[in-house]
Structure formats: structure tokens, C-alpha cells
Amino acid sequence: MTGTVYVTAGSGSYHTDLACKALDTARLNSRTGKVRVIPADEATAQQRPACLVCTAPAATEWVVTKANLGELWELIGPSKPYYSLNETADRAVCDGLTIREHKGLPRVVARFGDTIRHDRGRYTVHPATEDVR
């Protein structure tokens, strides 16, 4: 990889588009709110993943992780973070992504470890096996 890329403390990914919505969300989530420009080689050396929104090749399947949740939220139009009550912590914690009802499909939750597939505007969720989660 050559040239420069954009990174922020709010995300582990590197971005190639300064106008990327996921980069902006990560910037807002970081303490400093700063976007840094680094050499692309440095991002490679740090083993940063390519942003799913502005940099990674278009995909039709993603495994939901804590690291890519914000990017999937930007990428998948009918979605929002999913929260459930963690009784041990006595507070709501983020467990994954809610895919809102769309194209005749009902609302469904993709928890961390589950796979989301995209086909002709329809998003479906395929649960991980328990040992993966």
C-alpha cells in the first residue's frame, strides 16, 4: 500500500476517505476527536483492518464484532446498535446490531459473532454457533 490514510483513536481501522461517515463516528467516539494522517505502510505494519465503508472491497457477508460494529452501522442502512440489560453490570450493554424491518423482512438482531448477509437489498442474519460467540 502506498500514500497516506486516515486513522483516529476511536477506531482500529484505517480510512482512505476523509469524508467517510464511519471515520466521523469514530472521531466523535474518541477522547481527542482528532483524525491523524499516517503513511499507508504504517497502517499495514500496525495490522489495521481496512474500513468496511470507505476502503474494503464491497462485500456481501460480514461477521459482527465489537471492532466493526460502527462501520456496519454506517454500511447497513436499516440498522442501529442493539442493547440488552446485563444483570451482572446492572446496565444496558451493546450486544450487536439491530437490523430494522425492510423489504418485507422483520426486525432482527445480529449479535457479536453472528454473520450478516446482503443480497439484493435484503439483509439476513445467520447465528454463530455457541462456541464461537
**Binding footprint of Zn ion on the chain (CB under 5 A):** 15, 20, 22-23, 51, 53-54
CB of 101 to Zn ion, least distance (A): 27
Which residues does residue 39 pair with via DSSP β-bridges, in sequence order? 4
Q: Nearer to Zn ion by C-beta: 53 or 125? A: 53
Q: Nearer to Zn ion by C-beta: 51 or 110? A: 51
Q: Nearer to Zn ion by C-beta: 6 or 123? A: 6
* Angle, CA 30 vertex, CA 43 and CA 4 arms, to 5°: 25
Burial of 115 (0-12, 13-18, 19+ CB in 10 A): middle
CB of 68 to Zn ion, least distance (A): 11
Query: Using the 8-state DSSP alphabet, how is residue 68 labeled?
Result: T
CB of 4 to Zn ion, least distance (A): 14
